[in-house]
Every structure is written in structure tokens, then in C-alpha cells.
Amino acid sequence: MVELARLDLNLLVALDALLQQGSVTKAAERTGVGQPAMSSSLARLRRHFHDELLIRVGNRYHLTPLATELRERTRLALAGFERVFGAHEDFHPPTTRREFTLQLSDYAETVLSTAVADLLARDAPLARLRLVANTLRPLNASDTRLLGTDLVVVPQGFLTDLLHEDLYTDEWVCLVASDNAQVGDALTVEHLRELPWVVTFQSAAGTTHGMSNLLLAGVQPRVKVVTEHFVTVPGHVAGSDRIALLQRKLVDRLPSRDDVRVLPCPVFAGSLTVAMWWHPTHDNDPGHRWLRDLVRRAAQAVAPLH
């Protein structure tokens, strides 16, 4: 058993910064200490774990296998300490230095995060926002990963048995290359069946609601490219015969480009309702209640629920 009384818990802060930043210099800047102090912390951590943790290759550091394994554990552990020692009956946004964590896809980040960050900077100028990418791994109410995340922002249908609130609705549209000679002014069901596809978040665990609705309608896409990044989809479509489904609100916010066209889907791909989800242990936390209201206001400003 590790004797916590003999450990310097400041090393947990240093470890998190090092593993998140992958750089001694950036970790020092993030934690507000000098580079020699962060290097000293790294040396102590290496002795404790009997592992290099960070290995320099050229001008960059790479995480060792143990460091990669520790990265998520460290974030969860630090979040737990922050919640324990930061717990107060009262919460004062203007003076709080709390870090709020949102887990979301690059789609939701593009639509929502700037408005959240702007409201946070105005109402809680000393607080910090951390944005964590969604993964294909499913979450549930008993998942300890949720304890290190304030809010998970995903469409309805992916999470169950968690507290949640709807934020905004969206619809699916199709993308084709502007020079795709096979597609005229409109897509047909035959196009959906015959042309190659770029799809997002497809795995044995499932896929997006839009693709699920196409499958239910009897369309079996010829998948050629799979990505976990919605914002890269137009680039995979441009200059090719590939097609894709993308959310309307994301398309409207991406830089306009002449090499892709947005067309209605000839098959009903359905709509999606994006919600924020949180672990029940966060429900009565004053700071968390304030954060939920802030995210709610941000969503109403940029993507009203209807």
C-alpha cells in the first residue's frame, strides 16, 4: 500500500501537467512554476515509478507505455482531490479558480465551446475550461471516468441512466464534391447505395444516428473512410466521388469552401438532440449547478432548442 502521508501531493499536479502537455516547458507554464522545478518534479516521479515517463525523441517528448496508462488515472485522481478540497457550501463565480471539464466531439466543440468559454471568461474570469475529446468507448452511470468530467455533451441515444438536459437540436445533410460528375442537382437513393462513403464514429458499438437511420431505410453504405473527427469530413469528400452525412449546424460554422456541395439527403436521416449529461454525485454541487446553467445559456445563444 502506498503511504499517502509520506507523498508530496504536489507531485500529482506535476504528473498531470507533464502527461497532458507532454513537455517539461509547457507543464511548467501551465502550473506556474519554473522549468527547473518541473524538471526536479519529473526526476522525483521517475524515481517513484521506476520509469522514464517522458522520453525525448528529437525535439519532442513521447510518453512511455506506463505514462500512457497513468494519464487518465492521474486526471481522475486530480479531479477527485480538487472536488474534495474545493468543496464549499457557497460558490462564487467571480473568485473561483475551479477547472470545469467538458467531454465532447469536435462537432459539439465547434458549435458550443466558444460560447461557453466566452461566458466563463465574463462570469468566472479566474476559472478554467478543459475540453476533452469523446471516444468510441461507451459510458454509463457507474463509470469512474465520469467523476473526472463535469459534463459529457453528446446526442440523445448514446448514454442511459444518467442525469441530463437537452441543449439543442440539429439535422443531417449530405456532402458531395463540387466536381462530382455523378451527382447533379440532387442526390438519389441510388447514389447513397453506389457511391463510396466517409463516415464518422463507426464501430462494433454503433454509429451516428444519421447512419443508423439510413441502415433502417435499407441503405447499406459502401464505407471507404472512417474518422472520429467531424470537421475533417469535408476534406475527405472534396475532389473525390465520396459522400458523407454531416450536421447542419457544423456545416454552417465551418469555413466556406468551393470544393464541396451541401445537398438534402434523399432518405430521411432523422434529426438529433444534443444533451449534456452528468454523474449523479455532481447534481447538488453549487458550482456544477452554475456550470449547467452557463452551458444552457450558451446553447440558447448559438443553437436554440426547438
User: Could you report the per-residue pLDDT of 145-195, keeping only the tens digit for each?
Assistant: 565 789 999 998 877 778 899 999 999 999 999 999 999 999 999 999 999
Q: Are residues 110 and 53 in the same domain?
A: no
Cα–Cα dist 39/23, whole Å: 10
Give the number of other CB atoms < 10 A from CB of residue 42.
Answer: 21
The CATH number for 9's domain is: 1.10.10.10
Q: Are residues 75 and 113 in the same domain?
A: no
With 70 as the cut, is the pLDDT of residue 63 above it?
yes
Kind plus residue range of the DSSP H or E element containing 268: none
Contacts by 127-130 with C-beta closer than 8 Å and gap 24+?
A: 127/93, 127/96, 127/97, 127/98, 127/99, 127/100, 128/97, 128/98, 128/99, 128/100, 129/99, 129/100, 129/102, 130/99, 130/100, 130/101, 130/102
With 60 as the cut, is the pLDDT of residue 17 above it?
yes
Work out whether the CA dihedral 202, 204, 206, 210 comes out positive or negative.
positive
- How many independent structural domains does the chain possess? 2
Structural domain boundaries, residue 183: 93-306
C-alpha grid cell, residue 220: 447499406
pLDDT at 141: 47
Domain boundary among 69, 85, 101: 85
Work out whether the CA dihedral 82, 85, 87, 90 comes out positive or negative.
negative
Reported as a pLDDT band with limits 50, 70 and 90, residue 201 is: confident
Domain boundary among 28, 53, 85: 85
pLDDT at 142: 47
Q: Are residues 97 and 200 in the same domain?
A: yes
Q: Are residues 101 and 65 in the same domain?
A: no
Average pLDDT of the chain?
Answer: 87
Cα–Cα dist 112/300, whole Å: 10
- The tens digit of pLDDT for each residue in 203-260 reads 655 678 888 888 888 889 999 999 989 999 999 999 999 999 999 999 999 998 999 9
